[in-house]
Amino acid sequence: MKEVAFGQYYPVDSFIHRLDPRLKLVFLIAFITAIFIASNFWGLGACVLVLAAIIVFSRVPLGKVLRSVRAIAFLVLFTAVINLLFYAGETVYFQWGILVVTKEGILFSVFLVIRLLLLVICSSMLTYTTTPVALTDGIESLLTPLKWIRFPVHALALIMSIALRMIPTLMEEAERIQNAQKARGADFESGNIFRRIKAIVPILIPLLLSAFRRADELGDAMEARCYMGGKMRTKYKKLKFSWRDGLSLFVCVLLITAVVLLRIYLGDVI
C-alpha cells in the first residue's frame, strides 16, 4: 500500500518541480488529449518521448515512477486479454469457439496497454512534482472565471487538495490496521473470494472511523485558525509564469500538432 504513487509528492529541486502548477495542469490535460487523439504507434511514440523527458528532468527515480503502474496491473492485464481474445480481425492466428486471436487484436491490445500506462504515469507525475498547496493554488487560479457565476472555486480547490493529501495517509492507516488484525489471527489470503471480501470488513470499519475522526479534527483545526473560506484571503506565494513555463507550453503545442499530423497522414493503428 505504501507503493501507491497517486497523491504522493517527491521533494527534489528540478526543472519540472519549478514549473507553474497552472501550466502543469494544462499540460496534463493536453497530454491526455494527445493520448486519445493518437491513433497509431507513431503518435503514442511521440507521447512516450515527451513523458520520458518529463521523468528525466523531474529527477524522480524511474523505479518510483513505475510503482504507479502496479496499482492498475490487473486492470491493464484484464483489458489486454479481453481485447486479445475477442477482437475480430482478418488475419487469424488461433481460434477456439468464440475465442479468437488475430493480428489486429494483438496490435490493438498492445496499443491499448501503452495508452493506459501513459495515462497513469502522467497523472502520477503531476502529484510527484507538485505539492498539494501549489496544486490547490493552480486549480483555484484556473477556475477563477467561474467566480463570476458564484461558483465556489476556492472550496472545490480545497476539497481536491485535501483529498489528494489524504490518499497516502489513508493507505498507511489501512496497512497499520491490517497488520494489527493479522497479529490477532486474521487471515486475508486464504479461502474463496467471498471469504476474502468478508475478511476485509474488520479493516474497512476502523478505516472509515479513522477517516471521519481525521476529518473532524481537521475541521476543528481550521475553525481554531479562523478559517473563513475564500473571503479576503491573500497568498504568501504569487503564481508567476517564467521562461520554463513558456518552453513547456511550446512543447505542449508541438506535441498536440505532431500527434494530429501523424493521425492525419498515417491513419489508424489497424
Provide the pLDDT for residue 76. Answer: 82
pLDDT digits (tens, 9 = 90+) for 17-34: 999 998 999 999 999 999
Provide the pLDDT for residue 5. Answer: 56
Share of the chain above pLDDT 70, in %: 91
Task: State yes or no: pLDDT of 6 exceeds 60.
Answer: no
Task: State yes or no: pLDDT of 2 exceeds 70.
Answer: no
Task: State yes or no: pLDDT of 3 exceeds 70.
Answer: no
End-to-end CA distance of the chain: give it in Å, rounded. 38
Task: State yes or no: pLDDT of 117 exceeds 70.
Answer: yes
Segment of 70-74, 92-96, 203-207, 228-232 carrying the highest mean pLDDT: 203-207
Provide the pLDDT for residue 46. Answer: 92
Please report where in the chains the cell 475478511 appears, as a residue: 199
pLDDT digits (tens, 9 = 90+) for 240-269: 888 888 999 999 999 999 999 988 888 776
Give this prediction's pTM: 0.77
Provide the pLDDT for residue 1. Answer: 47
Please report where in the chains the cell 486471436 appears, as a residue: 101
pLDDT digits (tens, 9 = 90+) for 171-203: 888 888 888 888 877 777 776 777 777 777 788
Segment of 54-58, 166-170, 217-221 carrying the highest mean pLDDT: 54-58
pLDDT digits (tens, 9 = 90+) for 75-101: 888 888 887 777 776 777 777 777 777
Provide the pLDDT for residue 174. Answer: 84
Provide the pLDDT for residue 4. Answer: 54
Provide the pLDDT for residue 106. Answer: 83
19 DSSP assignment? S
